[in-house]
Amino acid sequence: MEKSLDDITCVIFNWITGRQTRGAIASFQKAYPKVKIIVADDGTPSPRGQDCWRGAYNRSTENAEGKRDADLTVLENIPGVELIKFEDHMGHGLTIDRTIPYVKTDLMLTMDSDIRIMKPGLLEEYLAKYNEDPENIYAVGTQTTKDFMGKDGPYFYSWCDPWFTLWNLEPLKRYPRVSFVELFTPGRNQFGCACIVSMFLEFNELHRPRGPYKAVFFPPPEAQEKLYHLRKDSKDTTSELAKKWEELIDG
């Protein structure tokens, strides 16, 4: 049976990015008001003092007093949105992992808090691609590299990033070894990569006799007319990126 928008839950990652995440919710709900949203809050800052890595976060998470925006009240009691609060900071990848049990639909759309929907239609394109081969496709979304661990190495595979990606939850729930946590370069799970998902599903014998799962790739958000990625240096206040940031930060 073909899947529809009713079979999708959107998971938005939040880590001390209250205003930015609230803008992501507003942006998504304008385009897809009937799709349920789960906001996965990744708790307090790491005890190692690790700061968030993106310049866009650095500026977007400052409130009027210049403090980082850890206030979750801006994310509470929003119709159509479930807020899940994790007390311990575990990084982007593991937070997606521990949010999956809360997703009751067959498909999950992961969306970063600095993504904005400029106009609807892209999610429908993703869904149409998934419906072409639902038994074998594990993801439809962003491809960030074709040779993450070396062209000649044993781990040659495509990196499917959760920026704005549609995931088939069946293999993720069936195989306990499949995870969004990056095992080979552990620090990268802080950056939200899904490398280990790609590697296991594309190269392990999980899907025999039909062969490995596969992903369908679209260009990154920066190259999508229906999306906008709020990426800029935190000290930038005058460039076109900065002006766009001011325009779109609140959705």
Confidence of residue 105 (pLDDT cuts 50, 70, 90): very high
Residue 17 has pLDDT above 90, yes or no: no
Q: Where are the domains of the chain?
A: 5-248
The structure's pTM equals 0.82
CATH class, range 5-248: alpha beta
**pLDDT, tens digit, for every residue of 169-185?**
988 887 766 666 544 34
pLDDT tens per residue, range 186-206: 444 444 445 556 666 665 656
The pLDDT, as a whole number, for residue 16 is 76
Q: Tally Cβ neighbours within 10 Å of residue 118.
A: 14
Instruction: Look at residue 112 and tell me whether its pLDDT is greater than 80.
Output: yes
Q: Give the pLDDT band (50/70/90) at residue 20.
A: confident
Identify the pLDDT of residue 166: 94
Mean pLDDT of the chain: 75
pLDDT on residue 182: 47
| In the predicted structure, residue 123 carries a pLDDT above the cut 90 | yes
Q: Is the pLDDT of residue 108 over 50?
A: yes
pLDDT reading at 229 higher than 70? yes
Predicted local confidence at residue 202, as pLDDT: 61
